[in-house]
Amino acid sequence: MKRTILALLVASVFVSCAGYQKLRRPIATPLDNLLELNVRIMWVAAHPDDESIAGPILSKAAAYGDPIYMLVLNHGDGGECNLPEGCLPTLADVRGKELAKVAELYGATLQHEWYWNAPLPTETFPKRHEIARKWRREGGDPTVVVAKAIRDFRPDVVFALSPIRGGTGHPEHQLAGRFAMAGVRLAASGDADLPGKPYRVPHCYHIVNKAPLFRLFGLDDPLPYTERFDVRQPCKNGMTCAETGAENTKPHRTQIRDMGAMRKILKLLDYLYLYRIDPFTEVLDPYEPVEEGGMT
């Protein structure tokens, strides 16, 4: 994980001067326009601190006063504690409190679940589909958790990391992206045994890595992008959205090394790249029946 973030940092230095692949298809309602309309935003992620990748977008939504709902599937207890005083009573408890502070900065409602988090080192992570099945076996199907939240909050926009690369290659990032869209499908189903009325989310996005230099580190996401979000636009108190997102990573003190690198990355980026997905026709099963997945 640390090497991945370092690679992202090195690659990001070249982002503003590098060329990008052309947009795959036009979007009738670009994200910038949507955020101006007081839309309801849902962020679905695996870990506390994953929202740092989407920070500039969440910062702009918060600046407009858009209602934000953050659904995070685990407490990151498989990670590191970088606090000199230690993490008591447990790392999970401390990281939960850190995320609650971040949610408050965004003015967001937080739903924080307790699914298992693969412990470091990354070389020991199970494969992606194995983690998915462990989550379902031990904590219930995350698809149902996402679908219930969608029916309750009724978001206009759902965001998640890429189901292929997951931003950093982490299999749990990839799974969160897959479960997010599986939850979108289930929430819309009239046959689902869920509380509330069926609800179809109008706009769904994955955040993807598309900087050319990512390819040199094996980090380029195979998903194309359909639009890009300018992180240099003004956001709050004279700061850009990138600067605001970077500032909002500071409560994650247990992850100071990763977040220090992320703050530098955000300050160097010009754009976040987005893939607008139709989850009803572009289906990636979290419980894939193939021996693939995990760190790639």
pLDDT in tens, 207-225: 998 865 566 666 778 899 9
Q: Rounded CA gap, 54 and 71, in Å?
A: 13
| pTM score of the predicted model | 0.89
pLDDT in tens, 224-272: 999 999 999 999 899 999 999 999 999 999 999 999 999 998 888 899 9
Let me know: does 35 contact 151? Beta carbons within 8 Å: no
Domain ranges of the chain: 2-19+32-276
Provide the residue type at 75 as one letter: H
Enter the tokens of residue 200: 């179809």
Architecture of the 2-19+32-276 domain: 3-Layer(aba) Sandwich (3.40)
Mean pLDDT of the chain: 88
H helix runs in 13-69, sequence order? 31-35, 55-64
Enter the tokens of residue 117: 């988090």
Q: Which residues contact 265 (CB under 8 A, 6 or more apart)?
A: 5, 8, 9, 12
